[in-house]
Amino acid sequence: FVVVLSDLASPQDVPLLADRILHHIALPIPLQDREISLSASMGVSLYPQDGDDYDTLLRNADAAMYRAKEAGGNTFRFYTTDMNAQALIKLEMEARLRHAVQRDELLLHYQPLLNLRTNEVTDVEALIRWRANDGTLVSPLDFIPLAEETGLIVSIGQWVLRTACQQTRQWLDQGLELRMAVNLSTRQFRDDKLVQTVRDALIETGLPARLLKLEITEGAVMDNAEQAVRILSELKALGLGISVDDFGTGYSSLAYLQRFPIDQLKIDRSFVKDITLGAESASIVHSIIGLARNLRLQTVGEGVETTQQRDFLRGAGCDLMQGFLFSRPLPAADFLALVQAHSAN
């Protein structure tokens, strides 16, 4: 919808009006036996400073609207000149990302997971990196959202799966048996061909399924629980493991832990960060571990940076830890050297 305020006295009046519009849109609407409510995201452009023709004003309001959406929605944003510049950067990035697979610009780093009881490296997580033109590595946090938005994540995800399985198989052939964790984003989880893709990756690389684990987030399974149960069951039937990543940060419905065939909970870094500082995080972590134990799920503490955090997790009965304290994510060769040196000790 477009709202034209032709008799606006001052731009200062816009926030007031925008709030009133948002308020009215949010009023609950009775629908059969239920009440539903809507939210809106609004972008504001002002004549003449943001454009003096219809197309420009609309385009700029549109850019501002996307900002409002990115801010979580149910709000408004004024257009600013740097929005177009940022939109351009995003377009360029998308164009480059489109060719990243063919141009061999993607690579995986590997981060070890340490068993807190035996002190052995039993698991590893594959974490994607994108080598930019200038050789620097772009963090997945900076391009996975774009890859999701554009659908490119599906082909990138296939590449990740195949590469990670291949690497695990190679290490296995070298006498190193590790379980490889691969991240799946929400969008991949909704891809019809996901199960087929995973099956193909296992067959093509000859990796035993028990050495593969897929990490999903709470959001991915909560969106459509029926479908999620079906897909997870099909994946499990292949013989692999399922892990819930960043556990505790999504909208957790504890009921799904029972319904879904999962094997592992990864306790989000935000809780681990504060376990030795505040009582709150400590009790949350204790509760998650207790819950997991009752449901016979393995636990991983994510983002362990200090020996105190490690000791706390070990004392609390957490099974595995992952974090900079033991190792950052590493290129394959460095990873192998680290694990060999560690097991020699």
- Site residues for ligand C2E per CB under 6 A: 111, 127-128, 139-141, 144, 157, 160, 183-185, 215, 245-246, 303-305, 322-324, 329
Among 168, 183, 188, 197, binds Mg ion (CB under 5 A): 183
- Least distance in Å: CB of 71 to ligand C2E? 21
Closer to ligand C2E by Cβ: residue 18 or 207: 207
Cis peptide before 208 (omega within 30 of 0): no
Provide the sign of the torsion angle of the four alpha carbons 230, 233, 237, 242, taken in this order: positive
Count of positions on this chain that bind Mg ion (CB under 5 A): 5
Nearest alpha carbon to residue 145 among 69, 44, 198: 69
- Asked whether position 60 contacts Mg ion by CB under 5 A, the answer is no
| Least CB distance to ligand C2E at residue 250 (A) | 12
CB of residue 139 to Mg ion, shortest distance in Å: 13
- Looking only at residues 277 through 306 of this chain, which bind Mg ion when binding is defined by CB under 5 A? 302
Shortest distance, position 150 Cβ to ligand C2E, whole Å: 13
Residues 197-216 that bind Mg ion (CB under 5 A): 215
Which run of H or of E encompasses 76?
strand 75-78
Residues in 142-161 at the binding interface with Mg ion, rule: CB under 5 A: none
Q: Which of 123, 191, 218, 246 binds Mg ion (CB under 5 A)?
A: 246
Smallest gap from Cβ 142 to ligand C2E, in A, equals: 9
For residues 213 and 182, is the Cβ–Cβ distance under 8 A? yes
Per-residue buried b or exposed e for 182-211, using 16+ beta carbons within 10 Å of the residue's own CB: bbbbbbbbebeebbebbbebbeebebebeb
- Taking the least distance from each CB to ligand C2E, the nearer of 62 and 263 is 263
Q: Give phi and psi for 17, each to the nearest 5.
A: -65, -40
Does 218 bind Mg ion (CB under 5 A)? Our answer is no
Closest to Mg ion by CB, 44 or 160: 160
- Determine the 3-state secondary structure of 228 from DSSP: helix
Residue 35 burial (10 A CB sphere; 0-12, 13-18, 19+): exposed
